[in-house]
Structures are given as structure tokens and as C-alpha cells.
Amino acid sequence: STTALTSGTYYAAISDPATGCESNTRLSVSVNVTDPVTPTTSNASQTFCSGTTTTVASIQVNEANVIWFSTPTGGTPIASTTALASGTYYGAILDPATGCSSSVRLPIAVAIGNTINPTTNNASQTFCSTAVPTVANIQVNESGVTWFSSAAGGTAIPANTPLVSGLYYGNIVDPITGCESSTRLVVTVTVSNPSPTPTTTDTTQDFCTLNTPTIASIQVNEANVIWYSTATGGTAIPSTTALATGTYYGAVASTINCENPVRLAVAVTVNTPGTVTTPKTTQTFCLSALPTIASILVNEPNVVFYATATGGTPLAPNTALTAATYYAALLSNTTNGCESAGRLGITVNFENDALVQLTTNDDTPCVFKGVTYSIANGKSDYVWTITNGTILSGGGNADGTVTVSWSDIGPGRVEVSYINNCNENTTKFLNVNVATCSDITITNVVDNPTPNFGEHVTFTITVNNVGEGSFINTIVSEILPSGYDLVSFNTTGGTYDPATQLWTIPALASGQSLVLTIVAEVLPSGNYLNVAAIEISTPLDVDAANNSASASVEPICLTVYNEFTPNNDGANDLFRIDCIESYPNNELKVFNRYGALVYSKQHYENDWDGTANVSGVVNRGDMLPTGTYFYVITIGDGTVKKGWLSIMR
């Protein structure tokens, strides 16, 4: 029963399993055995791409009616529409009449290759011609992309081919399976040329710090120019950056980073002008010289002048000067007008002798008083002429002042001539009326107005110049009356002649005082009124009422004899005081050397004989012992005389 069938006639009989007996008649069966041949192929290893629709029917064989299995034998045929997967498929030919399939199946190794479609972040890409872009510069997210000029077919463009504007189609081929992209990537390429190098009217540009220049201040003829600190490379400098002296390189900005590699070089100088200085901030000019702005003296070149301290328009150098203040600014150079921040004020005056007058510190001069006259114009070559006066100081060829002592009361004149800076001869004068305005006073003071006869008194005579001017040749009379005898004299100035009793003072300045001291003995009788008087002076004194002064004494006849001998010999027995009778209201008190009162009497009459009349140290009526005692005599007008007396026994 295991014998393989072959085509032919076969006879069948029934065998009894118990007895082993068979049928006498066998059944005749005609058998036809069909075995389709194994299919064939030209490629036992077939590759398919994932980007295409491949099924089991896609496997390539040379015969028709091939069915496929996943195993060499047995199994169930795979539907022809089943999608292919990598692996081995087994093919058999199916006989449609008998339903028989090849007993020996054809193995086919199937591989499914990758199909990758390239992608990009920018389907429209722009390139700069200066970068010399090639096909390899087209941006895609994958590697191994080749480019074509058509959406399908065609020949791949070499990677080093220079780019031109147009459409490029990208394709990826799997290097192992050869699978290509199912859809090529379309990229629109634009190759742009850079803007030309910018231009300028001045490749050497000056700026002023006063104007706070920035990068944007550089002058160019084109818009959208950006600047670098280097001729190539580097980073663009922000337009608000402050300018500094140096070279800047400009290119027209490009939104696609397509700048011209050749940049415009501009040399920049940022100027900081100094300050104008001058030897004289007040300058005097001659009208006859027709001075202009250019005549003003300053120490620096490139100076411009304005009529105002700020703002305004520069004055032309040939502008005629007027008496005014002009304001000078320093330019860094004459081309860019870069000025100093501050302006120097210079005051302009003109030589105008009509405005120059003689001035004085005293409009009403006094005789002999020093008065100063000035002509404040700073000239030289002066010639001073004084009438009725004497020059005390100044008045020389280079002196603009003169101090004059007027010689006499009445008219006087000060005159000065000079040559001014404009070489003009000018004479100025001032007429004056000299007044005396002098006052001399005299005082006379005695040191003891109530002396005793025979005592010395001192008269102090003081002469004072209380006026504004000086005096010369002053004579003062100091003639002692008959009640005195001259003892001595002394002066602080001048000469006193005791024979004529005249005091001569050669000069007495304003505010000065001189003193004459006369020492005289008081005589027992005579005239005691001493009169000192100013007899003459130059100039005459304006106030004669104070030109004499007197001093007088009232002599007191109280001569105390300070020793007596009360011994009853009839000689000098009593304490005697001359002239005591002239003072009936007197009082005498006598004290011992210990200060104890021993004698006291009112209305003393030269009658004390040395007897105590006060009890205490001694008894009343006792004779005082020999010794020294102290006396006090009070007279009725309040005058007190004190002294020591001696009692001798």
C-alpha cells in the first residue's frame, strides 16, 4: 500500500482478513498519475523596495500558475495579494485540471530594501555667489542624497557642480539594496549676487566729540551699510556704538548673509578741541586802524568768534569790531567745524581819549594836603605839569598818578600830556580851587593848680593839627607871667627860645600833635595866669577861636615848719604854719608814730607847744616826748596837707 502510484491499470480484490481468501474476480482500475514540474527563475535571491507595493505575486518565476508556500513541503498556499516580507518563499506549479502542484518546490530568498525620501528645513534656499556654492551645499536632513534636474529619471548631478538658480530634486539610494526614494525632494535654489561695495564722498572723515558721533554717523552714499573693525571677518558693530579714532570697514547689509567681501575702508578721526586762551581778556583797539574780528589776539589757530556765549553763527574774520564782548571757540581743524565745548569771552574796547579824564581822591583839596590825581588809561610817556603845587610822589614819565601838595589857597591846575596807543598826542587837565580847610588847636594844662609858694609847677602846652592839611612855620607864644620863674623846658618838636619865650614849629602834619613842657617856680606874688597862643601859621587857621589856651594857679601860703623845740628858751618853742591865719576854718591833727592821736585842734593859730590835749597814749596836758610825729592839716576848702614833724627837747 506504500508503493508510489504510477500511471497504468490496477486490479483490486477483496481479501477476507479471517481466512485470507480473496475475491475470485478483480476490479480493473485505470490510473493516471500527474506531477507538475518545479517552477524555475532567473534570480533565486530577489530584492524589493519598501517604497513600492510588493506582494507574493511580485516574485519573479519563468512559469505561470505558480503558487507560493512558506515551507518546502506541505502547508497552505499564500494568497498572491499578500504583501512581501523578507524571508524564503517556496513556489510550485498548480495544474488547474487536476489541482496537482509540483512535488518539488522552488525556493526564492526575498529581501525588502529601505526606501528613504529626503527631507529639508527649507524648501526654498538662497545662496550667495561669493561663497561659490555647489550642489553639495543644498541643505537636507539626511546623508547620501543625490540631486537631479528632474522629478524622475535623469542623471545624478555631481556634488561639486556649482549651484545655479532653479529646481533641484533630491534622491536617496540604499547602498545595499539599491532602493531609491519613492518621491524626490524638490528644493528651489536661488543664487544671489552681493550688493556692490558701498561708496563715500570722503574716505577720511572727521568728527567732533561735542556732537557725540556714533557708527551711524559715518557718511556713505548707500543705505543699510554695516561696519566692521576689520577688513574681513569679524562681527558687525552696532550702529549706536560711539565712534573712536580708527579705520572702519563697511559693507551693504544682506538679510541672506550675502555681503560683498570687499569692504569700504573709512579712516575716522574723532576730535576733542581744547580751550581758547588769550594774553588779555580785555583788548583795546584804535578806531583809525579799522580793526576786525581777525584783529582779536588769541594764542591758538583755528579760532572762530561769535556774538553770543552759546549758539549763533560764526562771525566772518573781516567783520568790523565794535565795543562789545566776543566769544571765541576753538576748532579742531578748519574743515569739519569741530568746536570746543566752552567759549572764551573777550571784551573789546577802543582807544577813546574823550572818555579818559583825570580823577582825584579829593575834589576839594586843602593847602599842604597831599592829593593824588590819576589818569587810568595805562599809557606811558606822561608829562605832568602842576601849577600852585609841589609833586610829592609819582608824576614821572611812566606814572599814571601824581600826588600833589598844594602850596597856597586859591586856584591850582594839574595837567598831563601823553601819546596814546594810537600814536595820538593828548593833553588832559583839571582846575582845582585850593581851600585852607586847616585847623590848629592849642591846650594848656598845669599839673598843680594850688601850689605853695616856692613849689614847682609844670605847664603842658599841646599844639594839635586837627585839620586836613599840613601847617608850616607855626609860632606859639608861651610867655610866663610875673608870678613864675622859668626853671626848665622841653619840646617834642620845634624850638622854644627862653629869651623870647616863642615856640617855633617848622611843620605840623594833619593829625599831628607836639608838646611843650614848661617847669616854673611859683613866686609869692605876681600874675599867675599863663596864656599860650598861636601867633602865626601857614596857612592861616580857619578857626582862630581855639588858637589860645590858659592855665592858672592859686598859690597856697601854708609853709609848715616841721621841727620845733618846746623848751621855753624863747626860740622855736611853737609848731609854726605860715599863713594859717588865712584859713580860719582849719583843723590840725597830730599822731604819734603808732597812729595814735595826741593832739587835735580846730582854728589852729600857731600856738601848740608840744603838749598833748588828747588822753590815750599819754595824759592830756603831758608834754610829748622827743620824737617824730605825723600831722594832717585840713583847710576850709577841702585842701589837706600831710607830713612829718619832729619835736626836739
Looking at residue 378, its pLDDT comes to 67
Q: Which residues pair with 611 in a beta bridge?
A: 623
Looking at residue 30, its pLDDT comes to 80
Contact 78, 70 (CB under 8 A): yes
List Cβ neighbours of 202 (8 Å cut-off, separation of 6 or more).
219, 266
461-503 pLDDT tens trace: 999 998 877 888 999 999 999 999 999 999 999 999 999 999 9
Q: Which residues pair with 474 in a beta bridge?
A: 505
* Amino acid at site 286: C
Query: Which three-class secondary structure string do you get for 440-490?
Result: EEEEEEECCCCCECCCEEEEEEEEEECCCCCEEEEEEEECCCCCEEEEEEE
* Sequence spans of domains, the chain: 45-113, 124-192, 204-271, 282-350, 353-434, 440-552, 559-647
State whether residue 287 is helix, strand or coil.
helix
Looking at residue 4, its pLDDT comes to 66
What span, in angstroms and rounded, lies between the C-alpha atoms of 420 and 400? 12
- Rounded to the nearest 10°, the torsion over CA 134, 137, 139, 140 is 80
Residue 628's H or E segment, with its range, is: strand 627-634
Residue 457's CB is within 10 A of a number of other CB atoms, namely 22
Looking at residue 167, its pLDDT comes to 97
Looking at residue 333, its pLDDT comes to 63
What span, in angstroms and rounded, lies between the C-alpha atoms of 107 and 46? 11
Q: Which residues pair with 426 in a beta bridge?
A: 418
Which segments in the chain show pLDDT lower than 50?
none
Sheet containing strand 380-387, strands side by side:
380-387, 410-419, 425-434
* CATH topology for the 440-552 domain: Immunoglobulin-like (2.60.40)
Looking at residue 377, its pLDDT comes to 66
Looking at residue 336, its pLDDT comes to 59
Query: Which three-class secondary structure string do you get for 289-330?
Result: HCCEHHHCCCCCCCEEEECCCCCCCCECCCCECCCCEEEEEE
Q: How far is CA 201 from CA 205, 221, 222, 264, 535, in A?
A: 9, 7, 11, 12, 101
What span, in angstroms and rounded, lies between the C-alpha atoms of 501 and 495? 10
List Cβ neighbours of 389 (8 Å cut-off, separation of 6 or more).
404, 405, 406, 407, 412, 414, 434
Q: How far is CA 310 from CA 62, 249, 282, 304, in A?
A: 107, 36, 19, 13
Task: Write down the CATH number for the domain with range 353-434.
Answer: 2.60.40.10
Task: Write down the CATH number for the domain with range 559-647.
Answer: 2.60.40
pTM > 0.75: no
Q: Which of 494, 440, 489 is nearest to 463 (CA)?
A: 440
**Dihedrals φ, ψ of 5, to 5°?**
-75, 145
Looking at residue 224, its pLDDT comes to 94
Contact 163, 189 (CB under 8 A): yes
For residue 539, is the peptide bond before it cis, meaning its omega torsion is within 30 degrees of 0? yes
**Dihedrals φ, ψ of 333, to 5°?**
-160, 175
433 grid coordinates: 580851587
Greatest Cα pair distance, the chain, in angstroms, is 247
Looking at residue 169, its pLDDT comes to 97
Contact 331, 276 (CB under 8 A): no
226 grid coordinates: 554695516
What span, in angstroms and rounded, lies between the C-alpha atoms of 517 and 99? 185
The string of DSSP codes covering 507-530 is EE-TT-EEEEEEEEEEPSSS--EE
